[in-house]
Structure 1
Amino acid sequence: MFQIHGVLDLIFWILAIIAFGMSIWALVHALRTPARAFAVAGKQTKKLWTIILGFATLFSFASAVGYFGIGLGQLNIFAIAAVIAAGIYLADVKPAVSQTGKGGNSGPYGPW
């Protein structure tokens, strides 16, 4: 017999895995970016972003493994906040800090 709860659990588990990957991607980028780039871009400090993204990674991991019987085990406010924090970093902060230091030798038609 087809069970709707099994399909929904699978969908939420896949979404939790995607959220965990997104949090890891944001955390790794924040760790590899120099602290000066955050100040030049006018964003919060590197230390604050690594703390926020560290907690986001922790909560999204707990949400992802919760479907195996350990961890939080359900979609909750912490998992949603983790996705929001990683999304803000990837959509707003990452492009701003990535532009830092790319000035260099560029002419009117590109770098030379």
Structure 2
Amino acid sequence: MDGFVPAIAPVEAWINLGISFVLLVVKIFAFANSLIYSAESYDAAGKLNKTTWCLLLGFSVLLHLLPIPITIINLAMTIVALVYLADVRPALAGLKRR
């Protein structure tokens, strides 16, 4: 059985790398999307202001790119990006542009 442990480690590393890459893409997409809408759109949608969302999402991308293992903060920043994509983005997209 001990012979199987080293064979699993590279597979686990590749899976972790793939998950990390997908989460990085999600964070970059959320950050780029937050820059598209005007500050008035955030106010009209009743969400946090544009500056706050851009700072949070930009910080999440930056933390993800750092080689320091800050897992709990990185998890929190992933949740921030997912909240933006699930709640704020649809509210902003639902507003009619003038």
Task: Report TM bin, short chain.
Answer: 0.7 to 0.9
With the length of structure 2 as denominator, give the TM-score of the two structures.
0.86
What is the number of equivalent residue pairs in this alignment?
A: 94
Structure 1 ranges of 4+ moved more than 2 A? none
The corresponding residue for 1:90 is 85
TM-score between both structures, scaled by the size of structure 1: 0.76
Q: What is the alpha-carbon root mean square deviation over aligned residues?
A: 1.7
Unaligned stretches of 5+ residues in structure 1: 63-70, 105-112
Q: Output one character per residue of 1:64-104: Cα deviation in whole Å (capped at 9) or x when no partner.
A: xxxxxxx12x57112211211110000000000111125x8
1:1-16 mapped onto 2 (5 Å cutoff): 3-16=7-20
Tell whether 2:28 aligns with 1:24.
yes
- Check if 1:35 corresponds to 2:30: no
Which letter maps to 2:17? W
Post-superposition CA distance 1:44-79 (Å, at most 9, x none): 0000000000111112223xxxxxxxx12x571122
Partner of 2:52: 48
* Alpha-carbon separation, structure 1, partners of 2:54 and 2:70: 23
- Considering fraction of residues, name the structure with more helix: 2
CA–CA separation in structure 1 for the residues paired with 2:9 and 2:70: 14
Task: Name the counterpart of 1:66.
Answer: none
- Residue type of the alignment partner of 2:74: A
Identity of aligned residues (%): 30
What residue ranges of structure 2 are gaps of 5+ in the alignment?
none
